[in-house]
């Protein structure tokens, strides 16, 4: 997964893109992302869009209900810094 994130970052954001507005930037970014999904997966040989649709269909079997945890998770034993949660 990290390799894919790095590849996307290098492809779409290096060098840093110039934008003249959010709408045009988002539209261009969407088009560039969609153009990337028809290439074959580096290991599986199938188009990435086909693999994504298969994953999406598998995920749909779980429904759209949110996952609810009855017991709160105790994070006090971990050294975690939270910011912006005040």
Q: pLDDT per position in the chain (86 positions), as tens?
A: 677 788 888 988 898 888 888 898 999 999 988 888 778 887 888 888 888 888 888 877 777 777 777 777 777 777 776 666 55
Q: Name the token pair of 78.
A: 């971990």
Q: What is the pLDDT of residue 1?
A: 62
Q: What is the pLDDT of residue 17?
A: 86
Q: Note whether 11 and 36 are within 8 A (CB).
A: yes
Does pTM surpass 0.85?
no
16-29 burial by CB neighbour count: b if 16+ within 10 A, else e?
eeeeeeeeeeeeee
Total residue length of the chain: 86
Q: What is the pLDDT of residue 83?
A: 63
Cα dihedral across residues 4, 59, 49, 18: positive or negative? negative
Cα dihedral across residues 5, 44, 40, 55: positive or negative? negative
Distance CA 25, CA 14 (A): 15
Distance CA 86, CA 12 (A): 34
């Amino acid at each position: 997964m990290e390799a894919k994130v790095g590849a996307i970052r290098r492809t779409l954001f290096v060098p840093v893109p110039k934008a003249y507005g959010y709408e045009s930037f988002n539209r261009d970014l969407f088009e560039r992302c969609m153009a990337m999904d028809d290439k074959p997966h580096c290991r599986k040989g199938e188009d990435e869009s086909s693999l994504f649709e298969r994953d999406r269909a598998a995920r749909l079997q779980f429904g759209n209900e949110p996952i609810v945890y009855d017991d709160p998770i105790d994070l006090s034993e971990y050294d975690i810094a939270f910011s912006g949660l005040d």
